[in-house]
Each structure stands twice: as C-alpha cells, then as structure tokens.
Structure 1
Amino acid sequence: MKILVIQGPNLNMLGHRDPRLYGTMTLEQIHNNMSAFAATQKGANGESLELEFFQSNFEGEIIDKLQECVGGEYDGVIMNPGGLTHTSICVADAIVASGVPVIEAHLSNIHAREPERRVSVTGAVSVGIISGFGPLSYHLALIAIMNVINELNMLKQSQQQAQQQS
C-alpha cells in the first residue's frame, strides 16, 4: 500500500512558524514519526505500508503531484494543502481527477480559526478532514486512509467475485 503525503505552502517552516498555533515539531520530525508509525502497520492483505513525502510552496507543483495518482502509482493521499485549502479550486479539481481517496489533515482546528480559514475548498472533495490535533492529525489521517483503502479493496474483491460467479 503506497500513500502519498502532500504538504502545501509554508509547511516547510514548521517548527519556526507561529509555534503556539502549529507547535514546535519540524516537518521532517512529523514525517519521521509518520514513517515510524507506518512501519508498524499492515494493509488488509498483509502488505507493508509505504509513504512518500512531497512538499511544495507552489500550487502547480502540487497539482502535478496529484496528477501522478492517475496512473495508479499511489493507493491514497494524505494532504495538508496549507493556505490553498481555502482558495484553490484547481487543487480541488486535481483531487477529484486523481482517482484515489484523499484525506485532508491540518495541525490546527481550521473551524476555530479566522472566518476565511473555516472554508475548505479542497476538503469538500476529499474523503474526510482531520484537524486540530497537532502532529497527531497526521497519524489519525494515516489510520483513516488505510481503512478507506482497505474498504475499497474489499469492495473491489467482492465485485470481482460476483462477476466471476455470474
């Protein structure tokens, strides 16, 4: 099971950027913790969990990365679009076109923030949104995406079995 973790604008500044709001962990530390947790997990069929991390401050690069999902390279995506969460219809369109489940994750509770940060254009087309748990949001998103992918795989298997029987 291969999961793409996309981090949007300014997330490379974690650990330095407003620590009272985003905490003191760096993006590298968050990714290391996610990798350590993923190493202890298995998919429904016993397959290992592989994470690939990507961060960009550029909307087009994030869209390009999401488009790589179309070829089946990834089973799902965990994404923190940063400020693009609230504005990017283009990223939302790329999520839809990706053909894989996407879980949006945020360190802060976007619904307890400024009014303009309470809207999630990208979350509206994602499977779900996890926010407000600090770095734990990413672990929760990892558990969620694994379960969603396992459910989709089981559904595909049962559909294939039904087709073979008919």
Structure 2
Amino acid sequence: MIEIFQGGITELDVDAIVNAANHSLLGGGGVDGAIHRAAGMRLVEACKLLNGCDTGDAKNTPGFDLSASYVIHTVGPIWYGGDNNEAALLESCYRRSFEIAIAQGDIKTIAFPSISTGVYGYPKEKAADIAINVMKEFEGEFEKIIACVFSPNDFELYRSKLSDPS
C-alpha cells in the first residue's frame, strides 16, 4: 500500500525513513537537517564511518533517537536541465533505497521524502512520476510505503500521480 503524508518525515512511525542526503552524509539543510537533528549526534558519528555516498546510491544507518529503526541515506541528482542522466540517477535513489530496505530483512514500512526537489532543483512533477513509478514496482515487498511531502500542492501532485492508472 502506498500512502501520501503531508508533514515532517521524522514524525512518522515507520521502520525506515529515507534521507535526501548530500554526498558527505554528515547533515545539511531541508529534510537532511531535520533528520539529523531528530536522530541526534550518534547519527553523524555513524555516517562518518560510511565515507560518503555517490549520487544515485544509498547507505543505511540506525535511526538512533528517531522512532524509525533505520535511516536510509540517498544522494539525489542536482537538476541541470534533464540531459545529464538526472532521471536515471533519481530512479536509482529510490531503487537502491528499496533494495537496502529489503536486504535489511526487518523493514516492512518505509517513508520517502521528495528526493532532489528542494535545493537540488529537480522539477516536482517529473520527480513525482519517478517516485510513484518505482514505489509501485516495490509495493508488494512492503506493508506500507509512504510518500512524505511538505506542501498541500505537493500532496495534491502525488495524489493525482498515485490515482493515475497509467
């Protein structure tokens, strides 16, 4: 089951949340900063041991002070107009996050932010298409997948994409 939630991803009671991280994995702004603040300093220490992350890849840490047991950190692409492999890299962020969740073995519920649509500038409608399509592919592997969005407009965008039969 895929659900849409409008609000902060750190508020969700799920097994894993996905962090839209930067290459260092050591915290930043937006969703990344909110997750790091909520998880506490042990998250930074755990991330230091991961030696960063490439765009399109993902890595896993405990959730520490979050209600989520795990944080899956993924680095989305910066939007340069769409001709620099951005779509494949964004799709890879979602796929790698799902693959890590499945490999972990005890993740049944997972929440994703809208990866790359903040300061990385990915067009929200294009990003939502990718997110929903990959979520649908992995829907049978999880009890619940949540698309966590910030604004009412984003909520409506994801709702319309999720209800689109194509």
Instruction: Indicate the TM-score class for this superposition, using the shorter chain for normalisation.
Output: 0.3 to 0.5
Q: TM-score under structure 1 normalisation? A: 0.43
Q: TM-score under structure 2 normalisation? A: 0.43
Q: Which has the larger radius of gyration?
A: 1
